[in-house]
């Protein structure tokens, strides 16, 4: 119960700050700004910001030290969701239980809203009031996690692999880039702004990589056995598109077991005292939603 309260509190604080950072929909071009706010402020658990904030605290900082950085990470995540949903990629009509951005505003505005969110993320991160060395380091981490070596690269490999035989190595590469990279960046950036030393930052990075894989496996499983209400989009869409997923390669039960094992390894990477309880609960959440 305490974990859920804290997670909701983080989400509410992030939502409030995002509403301040996003351009007002009354400003021109109004439709672009409305689309940005529609997608970025859609109901969500704000897991990546929660990881960022919790890792900042665990590294010795305060929530204020990483607050705007956490919002920047969420903007990158929302940019990726808008583009992933487009007809040229996943062609989804629903996201978080709502019409996707391109359904609501049209493809052109959706593409541009994603672009604008991506730019705003780095503008926001560059303005964080902290040691300039930390800001530069965080920008480097988020840049690497966002581009061809991270989520965009993972999405590209994922698209090109549709309908083709998949190996275990390629599947893990897709998931590590597509989902693991941004979650790992969330954790690493939190540790950077929390003032963690190199050992702590590396531990947070490994923690995020492993828990990111667990989260993506959970999404794979939920796409097979969950409900549209729980998933926020159509169930079975991965199978219909013949996407590379853990259930497709290993089956449901083996996938669940792998998610649990990755969660255990993620927790093993942490050698923390302050705030690690919340991180442990947040990690378990990735597996709990498989039941």
Tell me the pLDDT tens digit for each residue of 219-238: 889 888 865 555 555 566 67
Question: Which pLDDT does position 242 carry in this prediction?
Answer: 78
Are 211 and 183 in contact by the 8 Å Cβ rule? The answer is yes
State yes or no: pLDDT of 273 exceeds 90: no
CA–CA dist 207, 200 (Å, integer): 10
Q: What is the spatial distance between Cα 211 and Cα 216, in angstroms, rounded to a whole number? A: 9
Please state, in angstroms and rounded to a whole number, the distance separating the CA atoms of residues 253 and 232: 23
Q: Which has more confidence, 44 or 243?
A: 44
Task: Name the band, by pLDDT with cuts 50, 70 and 90, for residue 100.
Answer: very high
Average pLDDT estimate for 285-290: 63
| Residue where the block lists tokens 């974990």 | 3
- The average pLDDT across 108-114 equals 98
Long-range contacts of 246-255 (CB under 8 A, 24+ apart): 246/171, 246/175, 246/217, 246/220, 246/221, 247/220, 247/221, 247/223, 248/166, 248/220, 249/166, 249/168, 249/171, 252/221, 252/224, 252/225, 255/217, 255/220, 255/221
Least confident of 121-130, 143-152, 272-281: 272-281
Residue 8 reports pLDDT greater than 90: yes
Q: How far apart are CA 150 and CA 173, in angstroms?
A: 10
For the chain, what percent of residues have pLDDT higher than 90?
74
Q: What is the pLDDT of residue 224?
A: 86
Angle between helices 132-146 and 181-193 (to 10 degrees): 180
pTM (predicted TM-score): 0.91
Assign 289 a pLDDT band (cuts: 50, 70, 90): low
d(CA 156, CA 209): 19
pLDDT at res. 287: 66
CA distance 197 to 278: 21
3-state secondary structure of 99: strand
Query: What's the rounded mean pLDDT across residues 44-55?
Result: 95
Q: What is the mean pLDDT of the chain?
A: 91
DSSP of 222-264, one letter per residue? Answer: HHHHS-HHHHSS-TTHHHHTT---HHHHH-HHHHHHHHHHHHH
The stretch 91-114 carries a mean pLDDT of 95
Q: Are 67 and 17 in contact (CB under 8 A)?
A: yes
Give the pLDDT score at 13.
Answer: 96
Q: How confident is the model at residue 241 (pLDDT cuts 50, 70, 90)?
A: confident
What is the tens place of the pLDDT at every residue in 16-26?
Answer: 999 999 999 99
Peptide bond before 107: cis, by omega within 30 degrees of 0? no
- Reduce the DSSP state of residue 106 to 3 states and report it: coil
Give the pLDDT band of residue 275 (cuts 50, 70, 90). low
């Amino acid at each position: 119960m305490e974990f859920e309260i804290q997670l909701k509190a983080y989400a509410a604080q992030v939502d409030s700050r995002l509403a301040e950072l996003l351009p007002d929909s009354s400003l021109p071009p109004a439709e672009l700004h409305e689309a940005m706010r529609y997608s970025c402020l859609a109901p969500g658990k704000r897991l990546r910001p929660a990881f960022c904030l919790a890792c900042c605290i665990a590294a010795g900082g305060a929530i204020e030290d990483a607050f705007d950085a956490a919002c920047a990470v969420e903007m990158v995540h929302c940019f990726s969701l808008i583009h992933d949903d487009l007809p040229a990629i996943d062609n989804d009509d629903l996201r978080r239980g709502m019409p996707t951005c391109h359904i609501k505003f049209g493809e052109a505005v959706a593409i541009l809203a994603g672009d604008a969110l991506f730019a705003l993320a780095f503008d926001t991160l560059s303005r964080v009031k902290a040691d300039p060395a930390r800001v530069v380091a965080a920008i480097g981490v988020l840049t690497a996690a966002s581009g061809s070596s991270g989520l965009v690269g993972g999405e590209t490999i994922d698209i090109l692999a549709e309908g083709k035989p998949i190996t275990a190595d390629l599947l893990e590469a897709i998931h590590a880039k597509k989902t693991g990279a941004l979650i790992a960046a969330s954790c690493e950036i939190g540790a950077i702004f929390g003032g963690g030393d190199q050992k702590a930052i590396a531990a947070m990075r490994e923690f995020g990589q492993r828990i990111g894989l667990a989260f993506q496996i959970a999404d794979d499983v939920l796409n097979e056995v969950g409900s549209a209400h729980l998933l926020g989009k159509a169930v079975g869409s991965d199978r219909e598109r013949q996407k590379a997923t853990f259930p497709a390669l290993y089956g449901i039960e083996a996938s669940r077991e792998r998610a649990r094992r990755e969660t255990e390894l993620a927790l093993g990477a942490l050698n923390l005292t302050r705030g690690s309880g919340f991180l442990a609960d947040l990690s378990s959440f990735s597996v709990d939603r498989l039941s």
